[in-house]
A and B are shown apart, each in its own frame.
Chain A
């Protein structure tokens, strides 16, 4: 009988049921959506932040000026647990380009394009195995060289001169514009520094804490190298993330309160609407306990229904946010689903408290009084 009353009091009054359900469902949608976004954003944002360059530098320790390529391979292997965007090795040396002394960087362009996607290239990166060079825009201007020009490169006075084609001009807004870049093996051969690099730029998907972990892991691996955080990026990434999460949390809180208010007012309307019915039930011998249970039962049932609908919609919502903003999907989290379902039930239960108090205050004598 209890269940009959709780079910049919809602099912046989469709509009009211629909509106309340809608309120709960919208609340649950936003909450589960927001919580999903809240949980997913850091990872997605970290990934997005990787477009701004390396967040970790691997430098030679102490007196050393070089790191061996072998070490880099070991470091890459030791970071297998993390999502590595790229590790770009750099060997720097001074060469003569068209007889002008300039610092030339030898690197792996494939890795470089992943680590520093913000580099603006007019032209292309030097192709593997080809004698091609990438010129910094400032240096290119100094030389009067353009994309497609031919330049001569030598390791110094009296050393062999080789002809290179300019594959492109790079703009970064930084000191890179004063340099020239060739493939790492070519520079190593020209300078006789086989297997050596000056430093490596690492871009790894990790938030502040994880990054500290990565640093200590690299530091523990070998004494030859010193890992160094690119503080600026790591720091600003952390602040932006913190602010974003605070915002999401705030919105979620506001939505929670709004849902609470909305459900409370609806339940109040229901109680007012059903004053006669409550009076009648009391006249028939219902105690306050019975009335409380019925309304809480009503509330929790609504919470459960709305919660299920809302959690489903919330997932779709979070999924589309993630796809649109980060271009990447998210996995369905059963934990969040259960969480938002339980939260919906708690919220509607809470929202029912004040209306239930009003309901218990109804005087059974009203049923005998005419309107």
Chain B
């Protein structure tokens, strides 16, 4: 059984804006899929649905054997917490917490904060020596790596990354992509959203969306 199975998914905002229509997508364990498409095509909307932040208005979504099509908010919250690791274009680190504390927040909401494990996660992405710095004291690349460490800390079955290199220069982009490559080799399942062909090409498989419709697999 696939890790993620979307069948005929559609999404309408306020009953008018059709952000997604007839989306079919299946992702196997260990896959690395890139979702590409121009701005406003519905990529983030798709991410929100897969990441249990929102529910589709049509079709069905099954994640890791759980049908989340009609799940309520508290249930979505639990599934999101236990199965998903998210990386954002704007990093979204909590400004008043240090790098390691930012990782520990994810542990806190999931189970128990464990500083050593959090430091190990930072070491994994090469920013362990910045553990006690506030986000404002870190470069964009470092912040994004802290963000990846946070996404990994609770052993998610699926890593979602929405434009993970959108705010980074080329050197940092390569560094982050290298981390994703390693994660893929370790067997993590990854979904990246990007409009950069380079980043898209790094993935195993590319899905193109335009105006809410799937164009090519």
Which residue numbers of A lie inside 8 Å of B, CB to CB? 1-2, 4-5, 8-9, 11-13, 276-277, 279-287, 290, 363-365, 367-370
Contacts and interface: CB of A to CB of B under 8 A. Distances in A.
B53 A365 contact: yes
B96 A9 contact: yes
Contacts, number: 80
Given A283-B86, A285-B81, A287-B77, A8 B92 contact: no
B60 interface: no
A367 B134 contact: no
Interface of B: 44, 47-48, 51, 53-54, 74, 77-78, 80-82, 86, 88-90, 92, 94-97, 101, 104-110, 113, 134, 150, 162
B92 A2 contact: no
Given A280-B92, A282-B77, A283-B86, A1 B54 contact: no
25 contacts: A1-B107, A1-B113, A2-B108, A8-B97, A8-B101, A11-B96, A12-B134, A277-B92, A279-B92, A280-B92, A281-B94, A284-B105, A284-B109, A285-B82, A285-B106, A285-B110, A287-B74, A363-B53, A364-B80, A367-B53, A368-B44, A368-B48, A368-B53, A368-B88, A370-B89
Contacts of B134: 12
B97 A5 contact: yes
B48 A277 contact: no
Given A4-B97, A287-B77, 10 more contacts: A1-B101, A1-B104, A11-B96, A280-B92, A286-B77, A286-B109, A363-B53, A367-B88, A368-B47, A369-B44
A1 B96 contact: no
Contacts of B110: 284-285
Residue with the greatest number of chain A CB neighbours at <10 A, chosen from B53, B104, B107: B53
A283 B53 contact: yes
Given A287-B74, A368-B48, A280 B94 contact: yes
B88 A284 contact: no
Given A8-B96, A287-B74, A364 B53 contact: yes
A137 B119 CA distance: 95
A12 B96 contact: yes
A285 B78 contact: yes
B20 to A, nearest CB: 14
Contacts of B88: 367-368
A370 B108 CA distance: 26
Residue with the greatest number of chain A CB neighbours at <10 A, chosen from B82, B96, B113: B96
Contacts of A285: 77-78, 80-82, 106, 109-110
A2 to B, nearest CB: 7
Contacts of A277: 92, 94-95
